[in-house]
Structure 1
Amino acid sequence: MEGLQALVVDDEQPVLDELVFLLGRDERIASVRAARSGTEALRILESGDVDLVFLDVAMPGLSGLEIARLLARFRRAPRIVFVTAHDAHAVDAFELGVVDYLLKPIREDRLRESVRRAGADAEGDHGTSDESIAVELGGVTRFIQRSAVAYAEAQGDYVRLHTVDGSGHLIRMPLSSLAEQWEEAGFARIHRSLLVNLAHVRELRMQAGRCSVVVPGGDDPVELSVARRHTRELRQLIQDRA
């Protein structure tokens, strides 16, 4: 991987200086530029040679969320890491497809992990590289990897992500949107309320004309029913992967 061109955007000078300093110590970063406002950041971003942006979420004028939404329209959008003192925007971060979500005060080891994730995303295709997903549990935001999700289940306006270790995490997003975003990463719709990670399908069962798949779920495997209209396509997808 070639060195990443980074941009740090924060209206607080001490935080800006610290991030520039810490990123300058990372051998994977080729250069670091700084901006104290969203307007200044956009002027730099228009040059098109920025690979990775560290965005403060709450800034006067253009906020980090607004800048991220603008960057989503770029033909070659840089990867984004949100930097904030609060975790209230973790769901927004996931919906905008950011690489990572850093909480202040910044720890150098956690910052280096963000750079690693951005580098991994740059080396793979945008749709197929692994992705970190912000989930909330009891007021605490944590990150899980998309590759650890065995299946996703619609629950009203939310989706519950079931990981291979048997844990479940709610995110606020329609299953239809998630299915579209994760299709290229190997996730397939098997029911109007279920999305399965093909990489974790252990068995495909056909019994009395009914189809089901078995995926890991902690101590015990989980069997999921496949709707008739998805059966043929699912069997073809599994055959193609094999």
Structure 2
Amino acid sequence: MLRALAVDDERPSLEEVLYLLNADPRIGSAEGAGDATEALRRINRALACGPDGPDALDVVFLDIQMPGLDGLDLARLLTGFARPPLVVFVTAHEDFAVQAFDLKAVDYVLKPVRRERLAEAVRRAAERSAAGHRVAGPHAAGPHAAGLHAAGLHAAGPHATGPHGAAPRIPVHEPDPDHLPVELGGVTRFVAVDDITHVEAQGDYARLHTARGSHLVRIPLSTLEERWRSRGFVRIHRRHLVALRHIGELRLAAGTVSVLVGGEELQVSRRHARQLRDLLMRRP
């Protein structure tokens, strides 16, 4: 069972996370800290006693925006330890996801925290801990833990357990090929695939761009490339997937190729330039 520490300077948020953690059968103990400095003292005590000691910690559920030392600062400090606890970020802001996963976070949960979403984060932490990834520190494992499909196709309840205590995946509905569910502030919205102008890779996440704004989803760009190839999406760069129907201009200048998509100019890599030109020539 996991030994957890929740860190948040807002008392109601901290109490809510602790309540949900204590209700999860995979959590053996859950403590709270009101700021990163207090959390660091607690983590130092855990590291001093060793992984099997009475004060050991397996995972820290960490808010990002806090006065003084913030959550990202604390996570960076933890990367310097040989045997740090796993980190799950719990925040009201989606803007720090790329930095969080650069720090090898297990998960990134948006506030207001939903029970099933936090349960999914616990499942990922339990799997990572059981696999022994914690021993080598956060640099030994990337943010590739199997988990809740970012498109919202599976969910795990807080009391559902499978082999070795991991929550099973439970399909909740069939995928809609024309829409992609996105989570914003705890609310699920559905973005029409036809409205997406381009997609930008951000680690294990992808940012969907539309005329009305952008949305971050936990789906690798390669997965969306494969899924939407038949819908007219094409890779133009290791970081970008574009919808052919939304390309307004193809620009050639000084040996470089770029496209104008949704008012934004995107570079086309040399290896993708010829394929893109051929596809645009054949476009109705």
TM-score by length of 1: 0.59
Name the structure 1 match of 2:145.
Answer: 131
- What displacement does 1:79 show? 0.8
Alignment of 1:110-129 (within 5 A): 110-126=117-133, 127=140
Name the structure 1 match of 2:92.
Answer: 85
Task: Give the whole-Å Cα distance in 2 for the aligned partners of 1:125 and 1:6.
Answer: 16
Task: Give the whole-Å Cα distance in 2 for the aligned partners of 1:56 and 1:95.
Answer: 16
SS in 1 for 2:122: helix
Name the structure 2 match of 1:29.
Answer: 27
Task: Give the whole-Å Cα distance in 1 for the aligned partners of 2:76 and 2:126.
Answer: 21
Distance 1:117 1:79, change over 3 A: same
SS in 1 for 2:218: strand
Task: Give the whole-Å Cα distance in 1 for the aligned partners of 2:90 and 2:224.
Answer: 29
Distance 1:61 1:4, change over 3 A: same
Q: Answer yes or no: is 1:53 the counterpart of 2:89.
A: no
Task: Give the whole-Å Cα distance in 2 for the aligned partners of 1:114 and 1:28.
Answer: 11
Match of 1:163 among 210, 217, 223: 223
- What displacement does 1:119 show? 0.8
Is contact 1:94-1:134 (8 Å) kept? no
Task: Give the whole-Å Cα distance in 2 for the aligned partners of 1:89 and 1:74.
Answer: 22
Q: Any stretches of 5+ residues in structure 1 without a counterpart?
A: 150-160, 172-192, 195-242
SS in 1 for 2:94: coil
Task: Give the whole-Å Cα distance in 1 for the aligned partners of 2:9 and 2:108.
Answer: 18
Name the structure 2 match of 1:176.
Answer: none
Task: Give the whole-Å Cα distance in 2 for the aligned partners of 1:164 and 1:123.
Answer: 30
Amino acid corresponding to residue 27 of structure 2 in structure 1:
I
Name the structure 1 match of 2:231.
Answer: none
Alignment of 1:1-242 (within 5 A): 3-48=1-46, 49-126=56-133, 127=140, 130-131=144-145, 133-138=204-209, 139-144=214-219, 161-163=221-223, 166-167=226-227, 170=239
Number of aligned residues: 156
Identical aligned residues as a percent: 45
Task: Give the whole-Å Cα distance in 1 for the aligned partners of 2:208 and 2:125.
Answer: 25
Amino acid corresponding to residue 22 of structure 2 in structure 1:
G
Name the structure 1 match of 2:265.
Answer: none
Q: Which has the larger radius of gyration?
A: 2
Amino acid corresponding to residue 90 of structure 1 in structure 2:
A
SS in 2 for 1:89: helix
Task: Give the whole-Å Cα distance in 1 for the aligned partners of 2:80 and 2:206.
Answer: 25
Task: Give the whole-Å Cα distance in 2 for the aligned partners of 1:170 and 1:50.
Answer: 36
Is contact 2:59-2:125 (8 Å) kept? yes
SS in 1 for 2:84: coil
Task: Give the whole-Å Cα distance in 2 for the aligned partners of 1:140 and 1:117.
Answer: 23
**RMSD value over aligned CA atoms?**
2.4
Q: Any stretches of 5+ residues in structure 2 without a counterpart?
A: 47-55, 134-139, 147-203, 228-234, 241-269, 272-284
Distance 1:86 1:20, change over 3 A: same
Amino acid corresponding to residue 28 of structure 2 in structure 1:
A
Show CA shifts across 1:150-182 (max 9, x none).
xxxxxxxxxxx41286157849xxxxxxxxxxx
Is contact 1:54-1:82 (8 Å) kept? yes
- What displacement does 1:74 show? 1.2
Task: Give the whole-Å Cα distance in 2 for the aligned partners of 1:105 and 1:55.
Answer: 14
Show CA shifts across 1:122-151 (max 9, x none).
12243478436233223212113xxxx6xx
Amino acid corresponding to residue 95 of structure 2 in structure 1:
A
